Amino acid sequence: MLSPLEALTIEVFSFKEKDAKRLVRVIEDLSLVTGMTNNEIFDFMRFGAEEEFAILKEDYNWEKFRIRLQKRLKP
């Protein structure tokens, strides 16, 4: 059973279920670190993380993806 955020991730980013779950975990981790809501981080990813997604597509390294996003989101 998918969470609403996982389902939205599949719809918006055309991810498979496994990757949608990973992306939601990244969003939740970033939410704890940055203090932003899951929705704020999701919106940022939709409109401001094209480069990070391109790198993820090449190397499939989720930890580096999370770190790159964290650096951009955390002051």
Give the integer Cα–Cα distance in Å for 6 and 35.
20
- Domain spans in the chain, listed from the N-terminal domain onward: 4-73
* Tens of pLDDT, residues 18-33: 999 999 999 999 999 9
Q: How much helix, strand and coil, in percent to the nearest 5, is found in the chain?
A: 80, 0, 20
Backbone phi, psi, residue 17, to 5°: -55, -45
- Give 15-74 pLDDT, tens digit per residue: 999 999 999 999 999 999 999 999 999 999 999 999 999 999 999 999 999 999 999 998
In the prediction, which pLDDT does 74 show? Answer: 84
Structure tokens at 24: 């939601």
**Residue 75, pLDDT above cutoff 80:** no
Query: Rounded to two decimals, what is the model's pTM?
Result: 0.91
70 residue type, one letter: Q
